[in-house]
Amino acid sequence: MKAVIIGSGIAGLASAIRLAKLGYETEVFEANAFVGGKLSQFNIDGFRFDRGPSLFTMPQLINDLFELCGKDAHKEFQYIQLEESCRYFYDDAKVFHAYHDQTKLAKEVNDVFNLDANTFIKHLQRSKTMHQYLSKLFMERSLHKAKNYFNKETFAAIKHIPQLGLFDNLNNYHHKHIQHPQLVQYFNRFATYNGSNPYLAPATLHIIPHLEHGIGAFFPVNGMYQITDSLYKLALKVGVKFQLNTRVNAIVVNDKKAAGIITNKAEIKADVVVSNMDVYHTYKKLLPHEKHPEQILNQEKSSSALIFYWGINTSFEQLHLHNIFFSNDYQREFEGIAGTKEIYHDPTVYVNITAKLCKTDAPDGMENWFVMVNVPHNNGQDWEQIVDRCRENIIKKLTKILKVDIAKHIIAEQNWTPPGIEQLTSSFKGALYGNASNNKMAAFLRHRNQSKDIKNLYFCGGSVHPGGGIPLCLLSAKIVADLVKESS
């Protein structure tokens, strides 16, 4: 039996490993000359950069793949747990260190915000409760199989509905439990982990803080690309074949059954086809003559990102691996992203510096800055003008807070815009997470992992269930493998 995977993003790699272990002759087809999709890397003048995702949570999902293949995960893939998940900078000069240790975290909340830390810790407990009752139900199984709802997890969740925030938006939910506006902004930020708007997204997204605070934030010892590199090598060890520089032009369908693919080089027959390509492009480009789920394809898309990769010729002791510089008006920032499709003049800025932990990522005494702001997905905006304006506003903001003229220290530079993201990764309109999760039914409105119309056709990755981000993409691969096994 042969399986083909379209795309070598993190979900494609994980799906390939799992299908190979099910006994399939597995082959991955990738349009680029490299594997990993958004989770790839590049170099500029001696500075190494991870191209996309920079936060690593739920490492057990990586460990599971190594253990599935009979490998010692701790020898094959090494990472550390962060004592401080992120450092937050506010316009009023407050600096908040988000420690993993609960005692240190409580003291930090009390010292920085003059707030009873129990209020903060209880709100984190609500996140843990959501994770306890919703993770297996919404994240680890297909939502499109009726039998998956008749289990103890479903009945436990039903009993705890009042605690799960099912009928509120995220911002309102936080305001009910946290009386400090800057901490509400802190918790609202987690909605951006899947490209959502906290003023519209369901309160169930409060499940996310537990991944970072309860389970922990981690860092692969050689940078985020180590995730891709390790899984690529693991896939090769279990017999997966890779065809790079090979664009898939069509999925072959015979009698409502996926029978293979047509690439720019050949036609390949297969018993199972898995698309790790954005679901929109999968249908529009690879299945143009098949029935399309138009309601899903036409839903609002998630936000995107504008990223500047800067080589900095000095180091900043006040910065950490992960740093957030908050906007002074979070709501206006999101109104621009979701409504007017404009970027607020004072955006929230994320700065990731892997050289803080991986010294070889930058020359001695220097740092590699991954600088990102949330922006609308591509709707034909003048991105050249937006890049220039955003760059100016970001430098102005960082210079003000860090009290150093940042522009004078940038000696290497590159940027990545939503059109560039779409061109390189086939993410429709450059949306990072497929459809937005800005309504109460969002979890149920993502595309299913198994086609209901075409037998032997499956979907994984950030544009389908359970969603975007490294952990959810890895879970989508597990769901696909379970469905393939069940159908075989």
The candidate with the shortest Cα–Cα distance to 417, out of 444, 390, 448, is 390
- Kindly state whether residue 348 falls inside one of the protein's structural domains: yes
Where do the DSSP E strands lie in 193-327?
217-220, 241-243, 248-254, 257-263, 267-269, 272-275, 304-312, 322-325
Among residues 164, 183, 215, the one where a domain terminates is 215
Are residue 122 and residue 145 in the same domain, yes or no? yes
Are residue 241 and residue 317 in the same domain, yes or no? no
Per-residue confidence band for 341, with pLDDT thresholds at 50, 70 and 90: confident
Are residue 365 and residue 384 in the same domain, yes or no? yes
- Kindly state whether residue 426 falls inside one of the protein's structural domains: no
Give the DSSP letter of residue 149: G
* pLDDT digit string, tens, across residues 15-59: 999 999 999 999 999 999 999 999 999 999 999 999 998 899 999
Which strands, in side-by-side order, build the sheet including 257-263? Answer: 248-254, 257-263, 267-269
pLDDT at 443 over 60: no
Inter-helix orientation angle 60-68/10-21, to 10°: 30
pLDDT at 439 over 80: no
pLDDT score recorded for residue 149: 47
The candidate with the shortest Cα–Cα distance to 403, out of 305, 483, 293, 317, is 317
pLDDT at 137 over 70: no
Measured in whole angstroms, how far is the alpha carbon of residue 462 from the centre of its chain?
7
Are residue 134 and residue 169 in the same domain, yes or no? yes
* pLDDT digit string, tens, across residues 451-481: 999 999 999 999 999 988 999 999 999 999 9
pLDDT at 147 over 50: yes
Residue range 253-260: mean pLDDT, rounded: 97
Are residue 315 and residue 410 in the same domain, yes or no? yes
Among residues 188, 215, 242, the one where a domain terminates is 215
- Kindly state whether residue 97 falls inside one of the protein's structural domains: no
Per-residue confidence band for 442, with pLDDT thresholds at 50, 70 and 90: low
Residue range 136-140: mean pLDDT, rounded: 69
* pLDDT digit string, tens, across residues 177-205: 998 999 999 999 999 998 889 999 989 89
- Kindly state whether residue 353 falls inside one of the protein's structural domains: yes
Are residue 323 and residue 372 in the same domain, yes or no? yes
How far apart, in whole angstroms, are the C-alpha atoms of residue 368 and residue 353?
A: 6
Cβ neighbours of residue 75 closer than 8 Å, sequence gap 6 or more: none
Give the DSSP letter of residue 37: T
Are residue 473 and residue 449 in the same domain, yes or no? yes
Are residue 282 and residue 320 in the same domain, yes or no? no
Residue range 369-384: mean pLDDT, rounded: 96
pLDDT score recorded for residue 143: 58
> Which of 130-144, 405-419, 471-485 bottoms out in mean pLDDT, i.e. has the lowest?
130-144
Are residue 155 and residue 125 in the same domain, yes or no? yes
The candidate with the shortest Cα–Cα distance to 7, out of 273, 253, 306, 294, is 273
What does pLDDT average to over the chain?
Answer: 92
Q: Using a pLDDT cut of 90, give the percent of the chain over it.
A: 84
Are residue 174 and residue 258 in the same domain, yes or no? no
pLDDT at 62 over 60: yes
Cβ neighbours of residue 40 closer than 8 Å, sequence gap 6 or more: 32, 34, 50, 51, 52, 225, 228
- Kindly state whether residue 96 falls inside one of the protein's structural domains: no
Are residue 399 and residue 321 in the same domain, yes or no? yes
pLDDT at 148 over 60: no
- Kindly state whether residue 421 falls inside one of the protein's structural domains: no
How far apart, in whole angstroms, are the C-alpha atoms of residue 201 and residue 203?
A: 7
- Kindly state whether residue 110 falls inside one of the protein's structural domains: no
Q: What is the CATH number of the domain that holds 458?
A: 3.50.50.60
How far apart, in whole angstroms, are the C-alpha atoms of residue 272 and residue 328?
A: 50
Among residues 168, 197, 215, the one where a domain terminates is 215
Task: Provide the domain count of the chain.
Answer: 3
- Kindly state whether residue 429 falls inside one of the protein's structural domains: no
The candidate with the shortest Cα–Cα distance to 474, out of 159, 29, 62, 165, is 62
Residue range 82-98: mean pLDDT, rounded: 97
Are residue 178 and residue 141 in the same domain, yes or no? yes
Q: Which domain holds residue 310?
A: 303-376+379-416
**Residues 438, 338: contact at Cβ < 8 Å?**
yes
